[in-house]
Amino acid sequence: MTARTIPDRSAIPQEHKWDLTPLFGDDTAWQALYDRLESELSGYDTFRGRLGESLETLKAAVTFDLDLSRRLERLYTYAHLKNDEDKSNQVYLAMYQRAVSIYTRASELSSFMRPEIMAIPEETMQAYRDSADLADYRFHLEKILRHRPHTLTGPMEEMLAMSREMAQTASQVFGQLDNVDLSFGTITDEAKGDIELSHGNFTTFLQHPERDMRRKAFFQYYAAYENHRNTIAAALAGSVKADLFYARSRNHPTCRDAALFGDDIPLAVYDNLLDTVKTNQAPLFAYLDFRREALGLEDLHFYDTYVPIVGDVSFDMPYEEAVATCIEALAPLGTAYTSVLEKGLSGGWVDRYENRGKRSEAYSSGCYDSPPYILLNYDRENINSLYTLIHEAGHSMHSHLSCRNQPYVYHGYTIFVAEVASTFNETLLSAHLLKRYRDDARMRAYILNREIDNIRGTLFRQTMFAEFERRVHAMAEAHEPLTLQALTGTYRELLEIHFGDHLVIDEALTLECLRIPHFYSAFYVYKYATGISAAIALANRVMGGEEGACEDYLRFLTLGGSRFPLDELAEAGVDMRSPEPVAQAITHFGRLVEDLKETYRAL
């Protein structure tokens, strides 16, 4: 048997690569824009200290900043895409580093603008905002001015800015320990020999059909965290205390208030999510019990929750067929949507296949003046590649429609809504595949199992993470100590609440709270849970043929960042201020569980 080797970039046919010429015809054109932008950076100095001088000066400064930023994004996008094609290519690595450098310099030179805008007297600024001359920038200025009550004097702002690098120490310590210094040892697989255990293959081991292998990988993995538990607990406590420092410095009542303020998200949205999930756990418990029974186990441990209930499912779908499948699945959105997407996925949007040195995983990326590019490492024998394609296609169409319908200043959408379009697409794909394989019980069970585990991980698991963040920050705000025992004890309590007696809580699992990188970017994970809830609600509206549902959703995709995220989702037809979308997502999960049970019995 000939071993499969990863090809060099030069061996990939051109039609399988993305086409970056809409950005720059060649590297020489990139360099020309770089030189031009570098010479224009000094233009910020002409506005420093003058933004309150007149409406004309303010408008000229904002226009200059946005115009420069737009071209910088084009410069950066090309460099980072070229760099990701082959990480060993030193030419594009240098280009990428230069793009980051000039971007950073521009950010530093423009840093005076927000404080100066907020320093303009309120009556004067109100007159400016009411003027037709600033109509295009009204919401842009509103988002800046909202921060007035939380902005300090010039010297204090400078002091806070200087402290930021120091405040990252806890995160950096965790990152270095977690990604560099931790060693998880090796595991012997009878079929594959000795394999080094890592973050990358930990989940793969948890999907191993042999329980002894799963158990060994689980305890061996967490033994590394056990050996460093006190250090990591101190780092996590330090990160929480840094959040508290900045929240109080900026006069926010709590750390959560500070984190949610920028997107104008009420605390009730966060609390509704946590309360709704905790009071509607029956479908999750039913699934865990079914999983235990289907696997033939007396009790269920965490290391039993990733292995497919139905394994050995054969799948083989070439990229071209995957594109066709995605277009079929998204047909409810209409041909205006699918024709653009089909042309992009079949043309120059996508860098399809793995090559030596290429960045791993997948993403959607672009700028206002480029197509919404997609980086893939497509594997025709892995159904996850099909889901990844339609997921990233959701992001790309969101970007495409936002850029085509909004001016540059409002084209960028927030993280709060970013995962809605991608998860929406995945929901439609699962529904389509379940119809396609209606007569193949084994494949149906596999797809249902995959969809259930995806929702379980995104809705239920991330909500538990979000509650942990709320609790430990509340402890810090109440001056309670954040010791190792306090952190792991809090996490154990949440594990018991969220899994009841349907999962055996091994002591090692309480260390999970010490290995989640997102905890160093507090109050972020809840957006995964709200995002999938909104996506499921919107997808069910569209698939159910509800009047106006498709039009509402497509209009939502055109809004970019022209409104606050909750207002954009309301435009789409889902009210995330209410607990109802989360409850609907849990009901949807429960229906999938019952469908899986019935399908499994037919095997």
Q: Hey, which residues are catalytic here?
A: 392
Residue for token pair 């435009």: 571
Bridge partners of 365, per DSSP, are: 373
Helix (H, G, I), strand (E, B) or coil at 457: helix
CA angle 508, 511, 512 (to 5 degrees): 105
Q: Are 51 and 116 in contact (CB under 8 A)?
A: yes
Q: What is the residue-wise DSSP string for 335-398?
A: HHHHHHHHHHHHTTSEE-S--TTPPSS-EEE--TTS--EEE----TT-HHHHHHHHHHHHHHHH
Per-residue burial over 362-381, b = 16 or more CB atoms within 10 Å of its CB, e = otherwise: bebbbbbebbbbbbbbbbbe
Q: How far is CA 29 from CA 69, 91, 564, in A?
A: 18, 15, 37
CA R_g for the chain: 25
Q: What is the spatial distance between Cα 445 and Cα 300, in angstroms, rounded to a whole number?
A: 20
Structure tokens belonging to residue 114: 């927000």
Q: Are 463 and 277 in contact (CB under 8 A)?
A: yes
Label the pairing between strands 373-375 and 350-351.
parallel
The count of other CB atoms within 10 Å of the CB of residue 61 is: 23
* Number of residues written out for the chain: 603
The count of other CB atoms within 10 Å of the CB of residue 232 is: 22
Residue for token pair 């029956």: 282
